Amino acid sequence: MKRREFITIPAASLGGLLLFTLDRRPLRSQTRDGSVRVPLKFFTEAEARIVTAAAERILPGDESGPGATEAGVVIYIDRQLAGPYGRDKNRYTKGPFVESVPEHGYQGKATPREIYREGLRGLGDLPALAPTLQNEKLRAIEKTPFFALLRAHTIEGFLCDPMHGGNAGLIGWQLVGYPGPLMSYRDEIDKNPGLPWRRKPVSLSQVLGRPVKGWEEE
Amino acid sequence: MKTLKPVDVVIAGGGWTGLLMAKEIATRTTLTVAVLERGPARKMADYAAGMDELDYNVRLRLMQNIAEETVTHRHSVRDAAVPVRQYGSFQPGTGVGGAGEHWGGVSYRYEPDHFTLATHLRGKHGAARLPENLAVQDWGVTYGELEPDYWRAEQLIGVGGKAGNLRGKIVEGGNIFEAPRSHEYPNPPHKSNYLMNTFHKGAIDLGYHPYPVPAATLTRTYRNPDGVTRAGCVYCGFCNRYGCMIGAKAQPSNTLLPVLASRRNFELRPGCWVRRVIHRGGKAEGVSYTDAAGEEFLQPAGIVVLSSWTLNNARLLLLSGAGEPYDPATGKGTLGRNLTHQVCAGLQMFFDKPLNSFMGAGGMGEAIGDFEGEGKVDAGMLRGGGFRTQSSGDGPIASFGRIPPGEAKANWGAEWKQSSLRWYDRMGSVMFEGDHLAYRHNYMDLDPTYTDKFGDPLLRMTLDWTDHERLQERFAMRIQMGLAKAMGARPGGMLRGVGKRYSVTYYQSSHVQGGVIMGASPEISVVNPWLQHWRVPNLWVLGGSTFPQSGWGNPTLSALALTYRAADALVNRYLKRPGGLA
A-chain residues near B66 (CB < 8 A): 90-92
CA distances from B76 to A93, B274, B311, B505 (A): 24, 30, 18, 17
The tens digit of pLDDT for each residue in B133-151 reads: 999 999 999 999 999 999 9
Output the pLDDT for position A27: 84
The answer to whether A176 contacts B396, with C-beta atoms less than 8 Å apart, is yes
Q: Place domain B1-158+250-340+514-582 in its CATH homologous superfamily.
A: FAD/NAD(P)-binding domain (3.50.50.60)
* Closest residue to B59, CB basis, from A106, A172, A215: A215
User: Residue B2 in 3-state DSSP?
Assistant: strand
CB count, 10 Å around CB of B446?
A: 18
Q: Report the alpha-carbon distance of residue A184 to residue B11 in Å, rounded.
A: 37
How close, in Å, is residue A158 to chain B by CA atoms? 8
How close, in Å, is residue B354 to chain A by CA atoms? 6
Output the pLDDT for position B25: 98
Q: DSSP class of residue B377?
A: P
Answer yes or no: is pLDDT of A202 > 70. yes
B-chain residues near A88 (CB < 8 A): 67
CB count, 10 Å around CB of B210?
A: 22
Answer yes or no: is pLDDT of A1 > 60. no
The answer to whether A64 contacts B421, with C-beta atoms less than 8 Å apart, is yes
For residue B217, count CB atoms less than 10 angstroms from its CB and return exposed for 0-12, middle for 13-18, buried for 19 or more: buried
Which conformational region is residue B401 in: left (phi greater than 0), alpha (psi within -120 to 50 degrees), or beta?
A: left
For residue B444, count CB atoms less than 10 angstroms from its CB and return exposed for 0-12, middle for 13-18, buried for 19 or more: buried
| Mutation site, A69, A89, A94, interface B, largest B CB count within 10 A | A94
For residue A96, count CB atoms less than 10 angstroms from its CB and return exposed for 0-12, middle for 13-18, buried for 19 or more: exposed
The tens digit of pLDDT for each residue in B73-86 reads: 999 999 999 999 99
Q: Tell whether omega for the bond before A96 is within 30 degrees of 0, i.e. cis.
A: yes
Q: Report the alpha-carbon distance of residue B513 to residue A207 in Å, rounded.
A: 39
| Mutation site, A92, A154, A197, A215, interface B, largest B CB count within 10 A | A92
Output the pLDDT for position A88: 97
How close, in Å, is residue B531 to chain A by CA atoms? 32
Output the pLDDT for position B158: 98
A-chain residues near B410 (CB < 8 A): 139, 142
The tens digit of pLDDT for each residue in A43-99 reads: 999 999 999 999 999 999 999 999 999 999 999 999 999 999 999 999 999 999 999
Which of A25-39, B336-350, B386-400 shows the lowest mean pLDDT across its residues? A25-39
B-chain residues near A137 (CB < 8 A): none
The tens digit of pLDDT for each residue in B492-504 reads: 989 888 989 999 9
C-alpha torsion A160→A164→A169→A172, nearest 10: -20
The tens digit of pLDDT for each residue in A136-170 reads: 999 999 999 999 999 999 999 999 999 999 999 99
Tell me the domain boundaries of chain B: 1-158+250-340+514-582
Nearest chain A residue to B425 by CA: give it. A176
Output the pLDDT for position B374: 87
The answer to whether A181 contacts B52, with C-beta atoms less than 8 Å apart, is yes
Which residues lie below 8 Å from residue B416, measured CB to CB, with a gap of 6+?
B401, B403, B408, B409, B410
A-chain residues near B457 (CB < 8 A): none
The answer to whether B502 contacts A103, with C-beta atoms less than 8 Å apart, is yes
Q: What are the start-end ranges of the E strands in B231-379?
A: 266-270, 273-280, 283-290, 296-306, 343-350, 365-368
* Closest residue to A161, CB basis, from B52, B65, B80: B52
Answer yes or no: is pLDDT of A218 > 90. no
How close, in Å, is residue B24 to chain A by CA atoms? 34
Output the pLDDT for position B75: 98
CA distances from B353 to A212, B234, B426 (A): 34, 23, 6
The tens digit of pLDDT for each residue in B558-568 reads: 999 999 999 99
* Closest residue to B66, CB basis, from A92, A103, A195: A92
How close, in Å, is residue A4 to chain B by CA atoms? 27
The tens digit of pLDDT for each residue in A95-141 reads: 999 999 999 999 999 999 999 999 999 998 999 999 999 999 999 99
How close, in Å, is residue B566 to chain A by CA atoms? 35
Q: Report the alpha-carbon distance of residue B488 to residue B232 in Å, rounded.
A: 32
* Closest residue to B354, CB basis, from A58, A67, A196: A196
* Closest residue to A92, CB basis, from B60, B85, B358: B85
B-chain residues near A101 (CB < 8 A): 75, 501
Please, how many CA atoms are within 13 Å of residue A75, restricted to the half-sphere of its CB?
Answer: 24
* Closest residue to A91, CB basis, from B52, B61, B66: B66
Nearest chain B residue to A84 by CA: give it. B59
Nearest 5°: the CA angle B439, B441, B446 is 120
Output the pLDDT for position A2: 63
Report the DSSP pairing between strands B2-3 and B296-306.
Answer: parallel
Size of interface A-B (CB pairs under 8 A): 179
Rounded CA Rg of chain A: 19
| Mutation site, A90, A146, A187, interface B, largest B CB count within 10 A | A90
B-chain residues near A100 (CB < 8 A): 80, 82
Instruction: For residue A23, name the pLDDT band (cuts at 50, 70, 90).
Output: confident
The tens digit of pLDDT for each residue in B39-71 reads: 999 888 899 999 999 999 999 999 999 999 999
Summarize the confidence of residues B155-165 as an average pLDDT: 98
The tens digit of pLDDT for each residue in B223-266 reads: 999 999 999 999 999 999 999 999 999 999 999 999 999 999 99
The answer to whether A64 contacts B417, with C-beta atoms less than 8 Å apart, is yes
The answer to whether B356 contacts A197, with C-beta atoms less than 8 Å apart, is yes
In one-letter notation, the amino acid at residue B129 is R
- Residue A26 pairs in a beta bridge with A20
The tens digit of pLDDT for each residue in B348-380 reads: 999 999 999 999 999 999 999 999 998 888 888
Percent of chain B residues topping a pLDDT of 90 = 96
Please, how many CA atoms are within 13 Å of residue A67, restricted to the half-sphere of its CB?
Answer: 22
In one-letter notation, the amino acid at residue B109 is R
Nearest chain B residue to A211 by CA: give it. B49
CB A189 within 8 A of CB B359: yes
